[in-house]
């Protein structure tokens, strides 16, 4: 059987790697893929990104189903295009992807369906936005309505920062159309967790929980990034909290989308803020898997992902259960010099060891030219270690990180610190 994975990051490498382990797989195509998917004999990169051209490829190669990694093609309607041609694809339609592609859509959806989230208002008028900030005070959070590649959220600790963020988005148009409207919302304190499920339009299959690390530097200092590391499971999500998130957030979201006439299928990722009393609120929805959360989650998945994907596109996710490696998986992102503002390219990468039972290295911003593997993006690699405790998983991951070299590499030494603080 042939499968197509759309995207080029660490998330897509991990999805393709896992699907390729299925005994029924002939080829997993990755479009466009990266240096790591080029190196793996079971994967084949194809240099196509246009959705209609991908649909042509899928038809001519008889690809059985397509899995979409990133939000951009989903928001552009790749699922609509494939479905109109009768091709099986796992992901939300353009309309359903608005849960991620429009913060205003997501917030009004949550309000309408009584899903716990921060109080908010949406503005396109600059003066009204400034007045609202003065009325509410700081800290306060300013979010561009549209997709802004991780640059659209400003958590303002002072009024000055908040007004500056509004000017940047609404007056200076620095984020283009994405920032033509802004959501201004209440600041929520607490600990974040990533809660990701698979949805087939109706049925919900939760994946293992995880926690990301957004800041560039140790101790959660430095600028926000796409994510510098993640581990699974996240002990903050206790069984009781898991049940509550399903009941108060995930189920009403899936049912609400169906009720509103835009049924959701695909990965649904709720970014949660859990306050010190253990109450969860939704910070945001993503209509895809997280990156780097996917890498440790896939490292723990024991069930054949091809079988899961078949159930997902056939609407039978209620008939399967997932089996997980009981160990903790912990992924450390190695980023390029200059990331996140101006990542440097073309640094030679060396020392990546072959995967074994306890470690695997997923590629993101890498390119293979003949034998030369070089950096080609912000987040370069995600090294995943598995262990019986967070500490053991950390030891496995950093053991490999220390073998890998590229000039100017940046990584955190403390991935997993919140879990360690809880369990020693």
**H or E element at residue 121:** strand 120-123
Each residue 247-286 as x (binds ligand GLY by CB under 6 A) or -, in order, gives ---------------------------------------x
> For residues 69 and 47, what is the distance between their CA atoms, to the nearest angstrom?
16
Tokens of 98: 């608005």
359: three-class secondary structure by DSSP: strand
Q: How big is the site for ligand AMP, counted in residues (CB under 6 A)?
A: 12
Eight-class DSSP state of 168: I
| Residue 118 near which of ligand AMP, ligand GLY, none (CB within 5-8 Å, type-dependent) | ligand AMP
Question: Does 141 sit near ligand AMP (CB under 6 A)?
Answer: yes
> For residues 94 and 86, what is the distance between their CA atoms, to the nearest angstrom?
16
Out of 293, 304, 310, 358, the only residue in the binding site for ligand GLY (CB under 6 A) is: 293
Q: Hey, which residues between 232 and 271 contact ligand AMP (CB under 6 A)?
A: 271
Reported residue count of the chain is 424
Question: Does 291 sit near ligand AMP (CB under 6 A)?
Answer: no
Question: Does 229 sit near ligand GLY (CB under 6 A)?
Answer: no
Out of 167, 191, 192, 260, the only residue in the binding site for ligand AMP (CB under 6 A) is: 192
| Residue 283 near which of ligand AMP, ligand GLY, none (CB within 5-8 Å, type-dependent) | ligand AMP
Other C-beta atoms within 10 Å of 323: how many?
11
Tokens of 107: 């917030």
55/133 with CB nearer ligand AMP = 133
SS (H, E, C) 216-259: EEHHHEEEECCCCEEEECCCCCCHHHHHHHHHHHHHHHHHHHHH
Greatest CA separation found in the chain?
60
Question: Does 212 sit near ligand GLY (CB under 6 A)?
Answer: yes
280/306 with CB nearer ligand GLY = 280
Q: What are phi and psi of 104, to 5 degrees?
A: -65, -45
Out of 100, 284, 291, 304, the only residue in the binding site for ligand AMP (CB under 6 A) is: 284
Out of 100, 104, 145, 185, the only residue in the binding site for ligand AMP (CB under 6 A) is: 185
Sign of CA dihedral 190, 192, 193, 199: positive
Candidates 76-84, 89-97, 184-192, 260-268; binding stretch for ligand AMP (CB under 6 A): 184-192
Question: Does 183 sit near ligand AMP (CB under 6 A)?
Answer: no
Residues that bind ligand AMP (CB under 6 A): 118, 141, 153, 155, 185, 187-188, 192, 214, 271, 283-284
């Amino acid at each position: 059987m042939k499968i197509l994975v759309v995207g080029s990051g660490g998330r897509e490498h991990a999805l393709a790697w896992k699907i390729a382990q299925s005994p029924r797989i002939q080829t997993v195509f990755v479009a466009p893929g990266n240096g790591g998917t080029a190196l793996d004999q079971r994967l084949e990169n194809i240099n196509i990104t246009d959705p209609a051209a991908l649909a042509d490829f899928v038809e001519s190669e008889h690809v059985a189903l397509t899995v979409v990694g990133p939000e951009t093609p989903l928001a552009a309607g790749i699922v609509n295009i494939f479905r109109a041609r009768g091709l099986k694809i796992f992901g939300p339609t353009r309309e359903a992807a608005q849960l991620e592609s429009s913060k205003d859509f997501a917030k009004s959806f949550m309000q309408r369906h009584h899903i716990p989230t921060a109080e908010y208002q949406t503005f396109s008028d600059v003066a009204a936005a400034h007045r609202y900030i003065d009325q509410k005070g700081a800290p306060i959070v300013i979010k561009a309505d549209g997709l802004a590649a991780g640059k659209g959220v400003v958590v303002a600790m002072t009024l000055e920062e908040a007004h500056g963020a509004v000017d940047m988005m609404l007056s200076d148009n620095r984020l283009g159309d994405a920032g033509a409207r802004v959501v201004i919302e209440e600041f929520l304190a607490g600990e974040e967790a990533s809660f990701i499920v698979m949805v087939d339009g109706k049925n919900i299959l939760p994946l293992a929980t995880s926690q990301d690390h957004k800041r560039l530097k140790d101790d959660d200092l430095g600028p926000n990034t796409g994510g510098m590391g993640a581990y699974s499971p996240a002990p903050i999500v206790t069984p009781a909290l898991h049940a509550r998130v399903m009941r108060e957030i995930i189920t009403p979201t899936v049912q609400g989308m169906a009720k509103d006439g835009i049924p959701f299928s695909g990965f649904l990722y709720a970014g949660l803020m859990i306050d010190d009393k253990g109450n969860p609120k939704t910070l945001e929805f993503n209509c895809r898997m997280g990156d780097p959360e996917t890498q440790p989650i896939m490292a723990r998945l024991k069930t054949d992902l091809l079988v899961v994907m078949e159930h997902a596109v056939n609407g039978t996710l209620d008939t399967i259960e997932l089996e997980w490696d009981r160990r903790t998986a912990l992924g450390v992102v190695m980023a390029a010099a200059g990331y996140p503002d101006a990542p440097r390219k073309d640094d030679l990468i060396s020392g990546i060891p072959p995967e074994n039972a306890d470690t695997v290295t997923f590629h993101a911003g890498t390119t293979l030219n003949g034998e030369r593997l070089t950096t080609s993006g912000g987040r370069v690699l995600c090294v995943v270690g598995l262990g019986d405790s967070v500490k053991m998983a950390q030891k496995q991951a950093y053991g490999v990180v220390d073998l890998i070299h590229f000039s100017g590499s940046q990584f955190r030494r403390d991935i997993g610190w919140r879990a360690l603080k809880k369990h020693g």
